[in-house]
């Protein structure tokens, strides 16, 4: 079965990280997000993948090429104007002549796709929608079903009073190719708000596949950090975390003997960790330097950044090529690529600094 991954969105919920980088290749545990998705699909024998692209498509193609070294075969189709979730798949219709899988490009999950495909075939469905439970369904699309998992209705972003279930659309679908005939060409069209309700109104067999496997939409900075915490704590079957106090270290990295590790820590290649540094539940990207006395806790640092002496970095995301000068304090912040934080500057919770900007003491 072929898979279509929707990677055309602008990733506005992840700004400033996605100011000049597509959401689908932001690093997760120092690996581009899509690489995790490719590995996941390959375990279910799905290796023919079409990337429906739009915003910042070139970096994705440059990194993954034909996909061979990642165990998949990739085809790239770029839309000239935003076409919505269903319109983007309509745009690749010429490559889809059999049942196919669709995934939103910001979903990390352990859901059993093989079982979902089997369920789709048994039910002779036109569309099968994966469902996942969430604590607060009001930010998502609810899918209501009968006891046989036949879909009875849809409700987008309900109020708490309207929420009759906590099972939401998980952004993973199996579709028959003929349903694409219901989508107008070169028109912005949505699966959730337009195509699926249309199919249901016409009596087409629409089914749900409920699952309690690990699932997260990592499309916000909060969920991006949560994904790292979850993976480091072993909540996904796709990653075996180090034991607490253990460091996973890339090649050519140096860690000073006096550096202290608490919890689980991953360090990329070519990094330098200085004396008396404290690392706790952190992911450090390749080529990064963390200098003497710095404390890095529950944070994600991308590549080629410098964390200066006595810096306190907590609960934050630091993109590539950032410099945190000596004595700065950064808590609960998001720094875009190339940001420089002045010495002794204090950035409080919720601060977001756009790429290639400098935060001085007066801004802290």
Which listed residue (157, 223, 280, 357) is catalytic? 157
Contact in structure between 173 and 101 (CB atoms under 8 Å): yes
Of 249, 254, 308, 247, the closest CA to residue 279 belongs to 247
Q: What are the beta bridge partners of residue 3?
A: 49, 101
- Is residue 10 left, alpha or beta, with left meaning phi > 0 and alpha meaning psi from -120 to 50? alpha
Q: Burial code of 210-242, b = ≥16 C-beta within 10 A, e = fewer?
A: bbeebbbbbbbbebbbebbebbbeeebeeeebb
SS (H, E, C) 302-325: CCCCEECCCCEEECCEECCCCEEC
Q: Count of alpha carbons within 13 Å of 239, Cβ hemisphere only?
A: 26
Angstrom distance (rounded) from CA 114 to CA 44: 6
Contact in structure between 165 and 75 (CB atoms under 8 Å): no
Angstrom distance (rounded) from CA 43 to CA 337: 33
Residue whose pair of structure tokens reads 């602008």 in the numeric block: 10
Note if the bond before 278 is cis, omega within 30 degrees: no
Q: Hey, what's the torsion of the CAs at 110, 113, 114, 119, to 10 degrees?
A: 130
In a 10 Å sphere around its CB, with 0-12 CB exposed, 13-18 middle and 19+ buried, how is residue 148 labelled? exposed
Could you tell me which residues come within 8 angstroms of residue 337 by beta carbon, excluding any fewer than 6 positions away? 19, 20, 21, 302, 319, 320, 321, 322, 355, 356
What is the end-to-end Cα distance of the chain in Å, rounded?
52
Element (H, E) at 88: helix 84-90
Residue 157 catalytic? Answer: yes
Contact in structure between 25 and 34 (CB atoms under 8 Å): yes
Positions annotated as catalytic residues are 157
């Amino acid at each position: 079965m072929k898979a279509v991954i929707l990677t055309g969105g602008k990733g506005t919920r992840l700004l400033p990280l996605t100011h000049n980088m597509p959401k689908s290749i932001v690093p997760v545990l120092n690996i581009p997000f899509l690489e995790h998705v490719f590995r996941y699909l390959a375990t279910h024998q799905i290796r023919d993948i079409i990337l429906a692209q739009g915003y910042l498509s070139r970096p994705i193609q440059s990194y993954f090429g034909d996909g061979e070294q990642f165990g998949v075969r990739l085809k790239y189709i770029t839309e000239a104007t935003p076409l919505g979730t269903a319109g983007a798949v309509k745009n690749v219709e010429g490559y889809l002549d059999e049942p196919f899988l669709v995934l939103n490009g910001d979903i990390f999950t352990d859901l059993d796709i093989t079982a979902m495909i089997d369920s789709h075939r048994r039910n002779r469905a036109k569309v099968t929608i994966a469902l996942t439970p969430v604590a607060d369904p009001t930010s998502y699309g609810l899918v209501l079903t009968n006891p046989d998992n036949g879909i009875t209705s849809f409700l987008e972003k309900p109020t708490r009073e309207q929420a009759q279930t906590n099972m939401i659309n998980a952004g993973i679908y199996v579709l028959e190719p003929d349903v694409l005939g219901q989508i107008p060409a070169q028109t912005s069209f949505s699966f959730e708000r337009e195509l699926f309700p249309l199919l249901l109104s016409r009596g087409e067999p629409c089914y749900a596949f409920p699952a309690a496997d690990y699932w997260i939409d990592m499309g916000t900075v909060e969920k991006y950090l949560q994904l790292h915490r979850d993976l480091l704590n072993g909540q996904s079957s796709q990653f075996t975390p180090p034991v607490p106090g253990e460091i996973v270290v890339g090649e050519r990295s140096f860690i000073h003997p006096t550096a202290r590790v608490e919890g689980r820590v991953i360090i990329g290649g070519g990094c330098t960790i200085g004396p008396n540094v404290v690392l706790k539940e952190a992911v450090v990207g390749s080529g990064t330097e963390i200098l003497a006395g710095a404390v890095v806790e529950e944070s994600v640092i991308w590549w080629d950044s410098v964390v200066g002496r006595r810096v306190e970095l907590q609960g934050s995301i630091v993109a590539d090529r950032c410099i945190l000068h000596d004595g700065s304090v950064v808590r609960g912040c998001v720094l875009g690529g190339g940001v420089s934080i002045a010495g002794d500057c204090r950035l409080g919770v919720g601060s977001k600094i756009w790429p290639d900007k400098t935060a001085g003491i007066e801004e802290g």
